[in-house]
Structure 1
């Protein structure tokens, strides 16, 4: 039995999603989808997150097929990768104030660096709960599709679908017939993040990469992986070169 106060919160969530609570809903699973692992190591949304990841990818693939079937497979894959990323999913979760509904420990709630990951995980778990309630997408597509459209339109307005390395390479080849060269700096040579350290907000060490074109450094970026740092550096370089004209 779900506590009446919790039931009202779940009803409000469904109303916010535009779902009539008279639909067949597995309330126990929906409640569980909003229990963070920090609250209980045995009764939490981990498994539902795992299922929801597949639900999200399939729903997104279906939406892309229905709306962008004229695109090449590689472009569709790039779009899907972006649309199911933690950043996009967390932004959607924030619209529905999901963080307020998550049951978690005080330590987890006070960890500002983990907000994105727990929001994304929470929404994926909710997707699983909704899918498992009906074994179809009838409780999902009506509210998820508009978010996918908005995120896709925003992405397609960016150079090379947000792949700044590709966009930079296209520009430098057209301008100089040269490829950008990326150099990963030794941690001792890297600049700090402006707060006196060379780690991210979650304590993970950051990689620093410079991108050079025509014997000049046009951009520097940091990331939790070399690939992410290269993308950040390419974004800076692309902006600099475009401003140069």
Structure 2
């Protein structure tokens, strides 16, 4: 057996899944920088990452539905967004010790690609996609439960960045990123006040204000999350 296959076997042991088609695992670990030619993106993990992202969302949603029978939709949505966010996926990939197994181009290797959170998160999702193709939904769901069940039972993280939280919430529901629009600006140049409207398809818009565009966007995102029941209003906390 070659050293490459030995290494892949070690990684399979680490993640608790043995592939029937080892080539799927190899593809899941291949960054676009390590591929070449006109098919570079097709010969990288990107398609598997797309698939794994959606399989993860479905499996974690089902886990939450079963684990929290008294939770309302808003709480389930907040928990889902917290569990499938890119940072969480990167943490799972780190626990797998996937770094040495990632196939990277020379440039990514030199810039520390094996430790980049974005790449680690993508690899996590691509491995899930590979498990789904290799074994079907049942094994993929079991695989996700194995690596997410402990995280699922932790308390929901408080919202520190409302815009990021709203974007993660929207992503978990298959929606595009929120759109923020300035609807009003009043006051002198040295002390303006902005009113921002946040929009998501199929949902009523929300407006809020602040003394800068950034603060107004954060306020609008927070009001949107409160209205949807994802977080509580400060007076209700």
Check whether TM > 0.5.
yes
In the alignment, structure 1 residue 33 sits paired with structure 2 residue 31: no
Contact 1:59–1:137 (CA under 8 A) maintained in structure 2: no
Contact 2:48–2:130 (CA under 8 A) maintained in structure 1: yes
Q: CA deviation at 1:140?
A: 4.9
**Runs of at least 5 residues in structure 2 that lack an aligned partner in the other structure:** 163-207, 223-237
What aligned pairs does 1:75-86 form with structure 2 within 5 A after superposition?
Answer: 75-86=75-86
What residue number does 1:54 align with?
A: 54
Corresponding residue SS for 1:83 = helix
The structure with higher relative contact order (CA 8 Å, sep 6+) is 2
TM-score by length of 2: 0.62
Residues matched between the structures, number:
172
**Runs of at least 5 residues in structure 1 that lack an aligned partner in the other structure:** 166-179, 186-208, 212-225, 232-245
What residue number does 2:13 align with?
A: 15
What aligned pairs does 1:204-223 form with structure 2 within 5 A after superposition?
Answer: 209=214
Runs of 4+ in structure 1 off by over 4 angstroms are none
Contact 2:32–2:44 (CA under 8 A) maintained in structure 1: yes
1-structure distance, mates of 2:218, 2:5: 44
Contact 1:130–1:140 (CA under 8 A) maintained in structure 2: no
**1:206-244, Cα deviation, whole Å (9 max, x unpaired):** xxx569xxxxxxxxxxxxxx549x88xxxxxxxxxxxxx
Contact 2:64–2:152 (CA under 8 A) maintained in structure 1: no
Contact 1:33–1:48 (CA under 8 A) maintained in structure 2: yes
What do you get for the CA RMSD once the two structures are aligned?
A: 3.1
Q: CA deviation at 1:182?
A: 4.1
What residue number does 2:139 align with?
A: 138
In the alignment, structure 1 residue 123 sits paired with structure 2 residue 127: no
Q: CA deviation at 1:138?
A: 1.7
What residue number does 1:106 align with?
A: 106
TM-score by length of 1: 0.60
Q: CA deviation at 1:51?
A: 0.9
2-structure distance, mates of 1:164, 1:39: 34
